[in-house]
Chains A and B, each alone.
Chain A
Amino acid sequence: MIRPSQPTAVSRPIIEAEHLSKTYTLHKKTGRLKRERTTVEAVRDLNLAVAEGELLGYIGPNGAGKSTSIKMFTGILSPSAGRLRVAGLEPIRDRKQLARRIGVVFGQRTTLWWDLPLRDSFALLHRMYAVPDARFAANLKRLVALLELEPLLDTPVRQLSLGQRMRGDLAAALLHDPAVLYLDEPTIGLDVTSKAVVREFLAELNREQGTTIVLTTHDLDDIERLCRRVVVVDHGTVAYDGELNALRARVAADRTLVVDLAEPVPAIAVPGAAVTRIDGPRQWLAFPAEANAAALVADIAERYELLDVSIRDADIEEVIRNLYTG
């Protein structure tokens, strides 16, 4: 790969978003003829700086604004406000130029042509991205070897399995040596082996080629295995930005104890746990992960008539929400 080697420490961030916002106007039908205009702030005041060569986990609950912000980073959507630069370019204004510098892989969609053999899709991308012939040949050879695509090259994309298609999509996104690779749920629906292949490939790509990777996923394993830095987006803005270890400490902070009591009572008061929700005779209590759950249950059983209990590990989306509100 030919790219000027710049020391990451002094170079400007490859992705720079300052006070980035995106507001949608929705028209909702409220009557036979009446329509109501509502505005939705999908992204608001988002700040992010990603250095060249980083492998960033970009996570958050559904509808948090991840996809919308990535669509802005790639030049598909125009920001409503704020400043945005990617690879030194302004995404909407320099869209075509930017498209040649970045790669995108959507786990749930394909950039390949459904009815064409993989080889023909690659040939189209070769011309579309105007990749010099020698470079294309070298990249194709390397990617085909790494992703074990040789036996699949003549198969139409619609006949590929999900795992095979994902490998094809990864190759397709990298044929033009992008400086930044955006991945949206690249392991969704894949079996354990395919997941491992994809992760190993991404780690190597980042290490060997220095490609900046922005990884969006709901699979925390992806993040744990690949990313040092994690950005959590919630309600359209950055709720957490830092080391994965620090986040994990917070993620592990709370578990939930669900108790079913014989009859509805006011919030249970026990040391070491706090009621987060009450629904009739059922109550939810948050308690630290390292605390003794058995002791807590015993404590409650002593004072109330318990019918049933269950313990849930912190679900990432919940924790992310807590991060934001708490």
Chain B
Amino acid sequence: MVVYALISRQAFRRYLTYRGAMVGGVLANTVFGIIKAFIMMAVWRQRPSIGGYDVADAVTYVFLAQAMIGPMSTLNNGLDIPARIRSGDIGTDLFRPCDFQAYWLANDLGRAAFSVLGRSVVPFVIGALLFHLHLPTDPRVWAAFVVALFLGTVVSFALRYLAAMSTFWLLDEKGVVGMATVVTSFFSGMIVPLVLFPGWLGQLARLLPFAALVQLPADVFLGKRSGGAVGTGYLFEIGWAVALLLAGRLVTRRARHRVVVQGG
């Protein structure tokens, strides 16, 4: 376990060296947050309280979603696996005496932790200064939100890991990763809250693992989920995390056995 904690910490430090990317990310997430906030305000003016959200909920949701772009890595794969498969460097990762998937999970959690501090806090704070946001007053809600966020990150990793590992077979991940990114940003609630999806589409979207990335933690934050519903939310996230991580293990084993490591 110690080694994985160390891997996370080193990943955190590694991302710290890319300050330019951080500033760019913060700027983009903030600007798009402001634009989206105005769109939501226009929508809610026409149709107040759709999906059980009032206008403050909707604008808060926008800045929560913007803050989660980094840690949930909804707009890109965020894992170095595809590049390392193409260059052949993956050989050195496969060789190490630790679990391949756990190694990348530890790396990704370090990256996500950095992302929260480096890319999430500032856009959210700016949003809170410019708009009227619905902020929880109960510290227990904040704590429950942090747990939901953490579990969501694990689900997000498990999904992105599967997409990244496809490179072992396809040798070029752009198609699969691009597709995965589109599906993820739509079904996670990144673009618009899932509560806006009508009928069966909305119900389906709330059952898919992507909901664990943005919609579910946001619901906890906004108090739409409280008491026992928070627990069921956690179970939903844990269930998907376990299922997807196991699928990832299966894929890893197959990759180990049948795939040519590029180069050399």
Note whether A and B form a binding pair: yes
A interface list, Cβ under 8 A from B: 24, 67, 71, 74-78, 95-97, 99-100, 104, 106, 108-111, 113, 115-116, 120, 123-124, 127-130, 156, 184
In B1-60, the 8 Å CB interface with A consists of: 2-3, 6-7, 10, 13-14, 17
The answer to whether B89 and A109 have CB atoms under 8 Å apart is yes
Using A109-B89, A120-B13 as known contacts, say yes or no to A104 and B6 having CB atoms under 8 A apart: no
Q: Does B92 contact A (CB under 8 A)?
A: yes
The answer to whether A99 and B96 have CB atoms under 8 Å apart is yes
Q: How far is the CA of A113 from the CA of B6 in the complex (A)?
A: 13
The answer to whether B6 and A115 have CB atoms under 8 Å apart is no
Nearest CB of chain B from residue A285's CB, rounded to whole Å = 36
Q: Does B95 contact A (CB under 8 A)?
A: yes
Nearest CB of chain B from residue A154's CB, rounded to whole Å = 13
Using A96-B98, A127-B6, A128-B3 as known contacts, say yes or no to A104 and B14 having CB atoms under 8 A apart: no
| Chain B residues within 8 Å of A127, by CB | 2-3, 6
Using A71-B91, A115-B17, A123-B6 as known contacts, say yes or no to A128 and B96 having CB atoms under 8 A apart: yes
| Chain A residues within 8 Å of B96, by CB | 99, 128
Q: Does B243 contact A (CB under 8 A)?
A: no
Q: Does B223 contact A (CB under 8 A)?
A: no
Centre residue among B10, B87, B257, B263 by max chain A CB count within 10 A = B10
The answer to whether A128 and B14 have CB atoms under 8 Å apart is no
Q: How far is the CA of A110 from the CA of B89 in the complex (A)?
A: 8
Q: Does B94 contact A (CB under 8 A)?
A: yes
| Chain B residues within 8 Å of A95, by CB | 97
Besides the known contacts A77-B261, A116-B13, 15 further A-B residue pairs in the complex with CB atoms under 8 A apart: A71-B91, A76-B94, A76-B95, A76-B256, A78-B257, A106-B92, A109-B88, A109-B89, A109-B91, A116-B10, A116-B14, A127-B3, A129-B97, A130-B3, A184-B264
The answer to whether B14 and A113 have CB atoms under 8 Å apart is yes
Q: How far is the CA of A71 from the CA of B91 in the complex (A)?
A: 8
In B234-264, the 8 Å CB interface with A consists of: 256-257, 260-261, 263-264
0/1 interface trace, chain B 97-134, chain A, CB 8 Å (1 if under)? 11000000000000000000000000000000000000
The answer to whether B92 and A111 have CB atoms under 8 Å apart is yes
Q: How far is the CA of A100 from the CA of B96 in the complex (A)?
A: 8
The answer to whether A76 and B2 have CB atoms under 8 Å apart is no
| Chain A residues within 8 Å of B87, by CB | 109
Q: How far is the CA of A110 from the CA of B261 in the complex (A)?
A: 15
CB nearest to B14 among chain A residues = A115
The answer to whether B10 and A120 have CB atoms under 8 Å apart is yes
